[in-house]
Amino acid sequence: MIPVLRGQDCWKWLDAHGPLQDDSIAETVGTVIDEVRSEGDQALLRLARRFGDPEQIELSSSEVEKICAQLDPGTKALLDRAAARIKRFAEAVMAGLKPVTVEGEGYRVGQRFQPVKRVGCYAPGGRYPLPSTALMTTIPARVAGVETVSLTCPAPHPAVLYAGTLAQVDHFYCVGGAQAVAALAFGTDTIKPVDMVVGPGNAFVTEAKRRLQGVIGIDMLAGPSEVALIADETADPKWIALDLLAQAEHDPMAKVCLMTSSENLARDVLREIGQNQDLKPDFIEESLNRGALLVLTDLKECIRASERFAAEHLQVYSEDPSLREALKDYGALFLGPYSAVALGDYGSGPNHTLPTGRAARFSSGLSPLTYLRTQSWLQATEDAQDLFRDTVEFAELEGLRLHAASARARVRSRR
């Protein structure tokens, strides 16, 4: 059962939180990458047989259409609605981006946004099909202007494939694990190489992304799901318990916590967590044991604890607008008792692919911006004499004589 912590035990628990890295799988992942790089499709088929995945690497458009036909109209309509919300939000993000141009004496400089050309989106297989991940990785890529979007998923579910069709995905692959990341990075006879791989996966997928970062771009090294929830004595303990359980349901390694100054609320939430036995998956006790109900001094200390945790999801059972400004470190913020994290998991608009393991201190969730490169440019004329002379002086300051010579060649003699 989830522990209730007080005083210094709260801070010890928070300090122990961080990115998970399983060194025991590093050698396995390295071997898989080497095999895929050297043997291509043959390695993929051999690994598929070993792990019980489909021995088919790519689905044709007619095969995708046939599988999607298995979906009932209600499920298609649900995915259509979610896709529309995700696309609308992504388009609003893109609309806020503007290229920059600055005029100087004899020169102009600027910055523009250029989409990555080819992206591979990973949708995990795992315990449940995740069409939501397919939507949230492929649609922002399309809105950002990515030319070629590929979707890969081990044993793809009809709902996952249909989600891909809503983003006009170019290639559907039936490959999972570290081998999928390697195949997308290097290409095989069947799989086209990409410039970036995005999407969450298990520890093997994450380790492959870590190793291949630099060969390809990645979105992030996503770990197990997290939620931190700040609440006072006015909050409904049943709702809090359900919100904590909802994130614990993701994975045995998930981490959930409540931050409150109310002993009574912590006690009541603990009691409510003990309910709903018929809804709980078998592994949920493992994830609850990793979590905590933190009883802190006051709201200020709850905010400090939240910043220390830097949660993937931060839910605040208050509609106080000042809290939005006080809270800085989180992947996504959910304000007010009606703003359940589950709403963000399934297509309210913003993305559910978010930084974990305290990475929210320095990184962002997936969005159209993930697929964009900022590119600067400079255009100088003969009249940029002050810039030329300053460049000569700066190059000489740093001892780079050929840099200085390059700029000096463009300096006019003073008359």
DSSP 135-158: HHHHHHHHHHT-SEEEEE-SS--H
Q: CA angle, corner 223, sides to 238 and 282, nearest 5? A: 50
Q: Among residues 128, 114, 119, 196, which one has the least CA distance to residue 159? A: 128
The residue annotated as part of the active site, out of 105, 312, 398, 403, is 312
The residue annotated as part of the active site, out of 17, 171, 313, 352, is 313
With tokens 């692919």, the residue in question is 353
In whole angstroms, give the CA distance from residue 415 to residue 402.
Answer: 25
Q: Where are the alpha helices (DSSP H) in 4-55?
A: 8-15, 26-39, 41-51
Question: What is the sign, positive or negative, of the torsion defined by CA atoms of 66, 68, 74, 80?
Answer: negative
Residue 352 annotated among the catalytic residues of the structure: no
In whole angstroms, give the CA distance from residue 189 to residue 131.
Answer: 27
Q: H-helix or E-strand containing 218?
A: strand 217-218
SS3 300: helix
Residue 233 annotated among the catalytic residues of the structure: no
* 107-115 and 372-380 beta bridge pairing: antiparallel
Hey, which residues are catalytic here? 312-313
